[in-house]
Amino acid sequence: METRTALVTGAAQGLGQEFAVALAGRGYRVAGLDLEPQPETAAKVADYLELVGDVADPGTVQEGIERIADRFGGLHVVVNNAGVYPAKPFEETTVEDWRRVMRVNLEAPFLVTRAALPYLKAAGWGRVVNIASAAVLTAPPDMVPYVASKMGLIGFTRSLAAALAPYAVTVNAIAPSMVRTATAERTVGADGGFEAVCAGQLVDRTQEPADLVSTLLYVVDEGSGFLTGQTLNVSGGSAYL
C-alpha cells in the first residue's frame, strides 16, 4: 500500500489523539485539526502536521486541507471526530447552545468532508469516518441537541455514502458509548455519568478510547471497500442500531 495521509479532527486529546496515534502506527502520515494545540499528540506521531483552529470555520478548514495537501501531497482518510456534548435540561437550552452543538457536531463534518473531497477523488480511493454516538438510541434527556446532532450525522453518513460511491470513497460512522476522556470527565462524568451509562451496558466497565481503535482501523482498511453507509455500534451493548 502506498503511504497515505489521514486527517483527524479533535486530535489534541482523548479519542482523537488515540485515533491519530493508531493511524500513524499503521503507516499513515497524520494531520490533526483542533481548536487547541496538540503537543502531546505530535510527540506520539513521527510525521504529524498540527493544525490549530476552529473546525466549524470554513476558511480555517479550507486552509488546513490545503496545508495537508502541500505537506503530504494528498489526502486519503478523514476522521470527523471533533464534538461537543454539553449536558443541560432542555428547558434551559438556549439558541446559542443549540447552534454551537450543531456547528461542531454536524456542520463541521460537512465542511471538512467537502473541502477534502477534491483530494479524495484525485487519489481514487478514500475513507470518511464520522464519530456518531449510541446516545441516538439511549436518548439521554439532558442532551437533546447532542442527540439530534448525532442522529443528523448518521443521516449525513448514509446519504454521503451514496454520493461518493462512484469515486471509490466509503463513508461510515462509529457510534460509541460514553468514552472516558478528559472532556467527558470534566462534563458529564463529574455527576456520576459514567456509572449511569455503565449500568445500562452489557459490558460492565466504562469505555476507553482504545476500545474504538480496532473498529476505526477496520473501517479504513484497504479490504473494507464493500462497507459503506453503515453505523457501527460499539457501545458495550447499551444500544442496538
Spans of all domains in the chain: 5-179+211-233
Q: Tell whether the model's pLDDT for residue 103 goes beyond 70.
A: yes
Q: Tell whether the model's pLDDT for residue 241 goes beyond 50.
A: no
Q: Torsions phi, psi of 93, nearest 5?
A: -75, 125
Q: How does pLDDT run across 122-146, given as a tens digit for each residue? A: 999 999 999 999 889 888 898 999 9
| CA–CA separation, 55 and 48 (whole Å) | 18
Using only C-alpha atoms, what is the Rg of the chain? 17
Residue 45 is placed in which grid cell? 506521531
Out of 85, 146, 218, 240, which one is annotated catalytic? 146
Assign domain 5-179+211-233 one CATH number from 3.40.50.2000, 1.10.10.10, 3.40.720.10, 3.40.50.720: 3.40.50.720
| CA–CA separation, 119 and 83 (whole Å) | 24
**CA max distance for the chain:** 52
Tell me the percentage of the chain whose pLDDT exceeds 70: 93
Q: Are 75 and 68 in contact (CB under 8 A)?
A: yes
Residue 4 is placed in which grid cell? 497515505
Residue 155 is placed in which grid cell? 443521516
Q: Tell whether the model's pLDDT for residue 179 goes beyond 80.
A: no
Output the pLDDT for position 239.
Answer: 61
Higher-confidence residue: 153 or 179?
153
Q: Tell whether the model's pLDDT for residue 113 goes beyond 60.
A: yes
Task: Find the range with the poorest average confidence among 48-52, 54-58, 82-86.
Answer: 82-86
pTM of the model: 0.92
Please give the average per-residue pLDDT across 16-32, as a whole number. 97
| CA–CA separation, 204 and 195 (whole Å) | 10
Q: Band the pLDDT of 229: cuts 50, 70, 90.
A: very high
| Interstrand relation of 29-34 and 5-9 (parallel, antiparallel or unpaired) | parallel
Output the pLDDT for position 16.
Answer: 96
Tell me if residue 240 is catalytic: no
DSSP single-letter state for residue 207: B
Q: Which long-range contacts (CB under 8 A, 24 or more apart) does 25-31 make?
A: 26/217, 27/1, 27/3, 28/3, 28/4, 28/76, 28/77, 29/3, 29/4, 29/5, 29/72, 30/5, 30/6, 31/5, 31/6, 31/7, 31/64, 31/67, 31/68, 31/71, 31/72
